[in-house]
Amino acid sequence: MKLVPGPLPPIPTSTAMDRLPLPLPFSPDLLWRYPLGLSSMGQLQTPSSPLLDYKSQLPSSLTSDPRIWSREDVLTFLRWAEREFDLQPIDMDIFQMNGKAMCLLTRQDLSERAPGSGDVLHNVLQILVREANNFQRMLPSSPVTPTSRHPYPLSPHSHPPTPNWNILQHDSFHSSHAATLAAHLMSNSVTLSPAPSLDSQSGSPQHLDQATFNHSIFSTNGSNGSNPSDSDEDNFDKNGHHGSPPNTPSAYSLVPPMPHLPPRSPKEIQSPGAFKSVGREFFPNDTPEPNTNGRLLWDFLQQLLNDPNQRYTGYIAWKNRDTGVFKIVDPAGLAKLWGIQKNHLSMNYDKMSRALRYYYRVNILRKVQGERHCYQFLRNPTELKNIKNISLLRQQMSPTNTKPPVLPQVTIKPEPAEIEAPEVQNCRPMEYEDKPTDLSMEGPTDLSSSSSRHVNIVCSPDPPLGGPLH
DNA sequence: AACCCGGAAGCTAA
DNA sequence: CTTAGCTTCCGGGT
């Protein structure tokens, strides 16, 4: 369902994203892919947003559209990026080109010219171009840029419209936001190698600064977001119930330049619960750990769940971190977020839950019986990251080898969702075995029949619903 | 009606 | 081209 460039839908006065705190657990590129939605994010829209301050850090001589930069502008930009993002020294000699030319460089081109910084530069440029397009689009008389997609209404849960928010502010926000994103990107790109979703692995990195957090969540790592949205979107119509996102400047202010060294992640991060850092003792380069960066659903969920600032508890929250039990507080909203993350804007809970159900068969997830929107992770993030070797694991798969992970029998009584449900507190932390994990649709791996369906999460006296549900 | 389930087919990025 | 990981659609059950 690709969106074809076409008439732009009305700019939403309020969108789901309105209530989204930053940073979103989205790939950075999403931010430029969906600038409008993001720009209209609630608190972010406040005119006093620190993001605006960030904009001021951009070289004032640079116009917002990199495509019209002169050679000198390009150099100015590069110097700025180099300094701002703490990039490795860029050889200016091989950037003797104007902005238009630079914008035509592919990620790879940029990487070749600026080893180690290509991703950052590319992403920043993409953002700026997109921003410029959006800006033009937003101007009453501006033509719709061919490449522009309609600024769909992103949000499912919108904050009440922000009175002060007007288009110009939008744009201001955008520009600055883009810059901030750039910083996000940079943090990702510069430290790309490090394992993704550190958060996921280590639980809640309470001490991660924003940049680090973003790093773990936003890594674009090749996702250039150049693909147009491929689905229609429905307007989010609910008002956000989400807790107030961080309003503190620190949350939105310019991400400090990332050191070339990866953040001390997991190790330094204190994490409560079973998802403690399980051993990423080394840094990125050592670990061929797959980098999912929230692009996989389970990782996305983990990242939301483990947000150090608990900003997504309005969407999804642990009921018991130790047992991996979580509740989707706002199914529609979460689905929208996921849809945005994956650039499938017509995502809904039905579809997302289908994806979740595919996790049953590979023992990544199971449903908590008797509790709506409640699921349980059967594997910890580290393990999940490692089961990238699906092909290998699949080979091990055999009907006799599909024993489900030993898990606590957890039953969530059908009572009002309660974070950290006491009834599951006693369940011992997950113990995982390396089980084959294969999400492929081919062939019935049928792990589900032995776990998801036979092993019900029963902790309370509830009758073990034992058998397969179907 | 909302949720939940899983089959089937298709899509996209790697 | 193959594969992973969904996405989309759907019929059916609770």
Contacts of A49 (CB under 8 A, 6+ apart): A43, A173, A176, A252
Strand B atom within 7 Å of A122 CB: no
Nearest protein residue by Cα to C1' of nucleotide C7: A351
Closest nucleotide relative to residue A223's CA, C1' based: B13
Other Cβ atoms less than 10 A from the Cβ of A138: the count is: 20
How does strand A157-158 pair with strand A316-320? Answer: unpaired
Which residue in this structure is represented by tokens 């502008």?
A73
- Strand partners for A328: A316
pLDDT recorded at residue A298: 92
| Choice between A351 and A217, residue whose per-residue pLDDT is larger | A351
Residue A282, token pair as written in the block? 């080394």
Q: How many residues does chain A have?
A: 470
Residue A35, token pair as written in the block? 């600038």
CA of A357 to C1' of C13 (A): 16
The pLDDT tens digits of the residues spanning A83-113 come to 776 777 787 777 777 777 777 776 666 777 7
Contact status, residue A23 vs residue A50, Cβ threshold 8 Å: no
CB-to-strand C under 7 Å, chain A 191-250 = 230-231
Tell me what the pLDDT averaged over chain A comes to: 53
CA of A409 to C1' of B11 (A): 37
Which residue in this structure is represented by tokens 């840094």?
A283
Tell me the percentage of chain A whose pLDDT exceeds 70. 31
Q: For the residues A185-203, what does the mean pLDDT come to?
A: 32
| Choice between A336 and A14, residue whose per-residue pLDDT is larger | A336
Nearest-angstrom CA–CA distance, A138 and A154: 16
pLDDT band at A189 (very low <50, low <70, confident <90, very high): very low
Closest nucleotide relative to residue A446's CA, C1' based: B6
Global pTM value: 0.46
Q: Which nucleotides of B are covered by protein (CB under 7 A)?
A: 3-14
The pLDDT tens digits of the residues spanning A138-172 come to 443 322 232 333 332 333 333 322 223 232 233 33
**Range of A3-7, A233-237, A322-326, A461-465 with top mean pLDDT:** A322-326
Strand C atom within 7 Å of A365 CB: no
CA of A20 to C1' of B1 (A): 28
CA of A362 to C1' of B10 (A): 21
Looking at the predicted structure, is the pLDDT value of residue A210 above 50?
no
Complete DSSP assignment for A390-440:
HHHHHHH--GGG-PPPP-------SSS--TT-GGGTTSPPP----------
Q: Which nucleotides of C are covered by protein (CB under 7 A)?
A: 3-10, 13
Looking at the predicted structure, is the pLDDT value of residue A75 above 90?
no
Nearest-angstrom CA–CA distance, A334 and A396: 34
Q: How far is CA A354 from CA A25, A160, A351, A438, in A?
A: 21, 31, 5, 15
Strand B atom within 7 Å of A349 CB: yes
Q: How far is CA A457 from CA A317, A331, A348, A354, A375, in A?
A: 18, 21, 25, 19, 9
Contact status, residue A109 vs residue A73, Cβ threshold 8 Å: no
Q: Which amino acid is at A461?
A: P
CA of A356 to C1' of B3 (A): 14
pLDDT band at A120 (very low <50, low <70, confident <90, very high): low
Strand B atom within 7 Å of A222 CB: yes
Residue A446, token pair as written in the block? 């049928």
Nearest protein residue by Cα to C1' of nucleotide B9: A441
Nearest-angstrom CA–CA distance, A10 and A213: 33
Nearest-angstrom CA–CA distance, A4 and A26: 23
Q: For the residues A21-30, what does the mean pLDDT come to?
A: 45
Task: Give which of A231, A152, A35 is closest to A44, Cα–Cα.
Answer: A35
| Choice between A310 and A9, residue whose per-residue pLDDT is larger | A310
pLDDT recorded at residue A57: 59
Contact status, residue A187 vs residue A44, Cβ threshold 8 Å: no
Q: Which amino acid is at A176?
A: S
The pLDDT tens digits of the residues spanning A449-466 come to 333 333 333 333 333 333
pLDDT recorded at residue A64: 72
A203 CB-contact burial (10 Å; exposed 0-12 / middle 13-18 / buried 19+): buried
Nearest-angstrom CA–CA distance, A360 and A232: 28
The pLDDT tens digits of the residues spanning A301-331 come to 999 999 889 999 999 999 999 899 999 999 9
| DSSP letter assigned to residue A85 | T
Q: At what angle do helices A349-358 and A297-305 cross, to 10 degrees?
A: 110
Give the containing element (helix H, strand E) for A110.
helix A107-113
CA of A346 to C1' of C7 (A): 10
pLDDT recorded at residue A3: 35
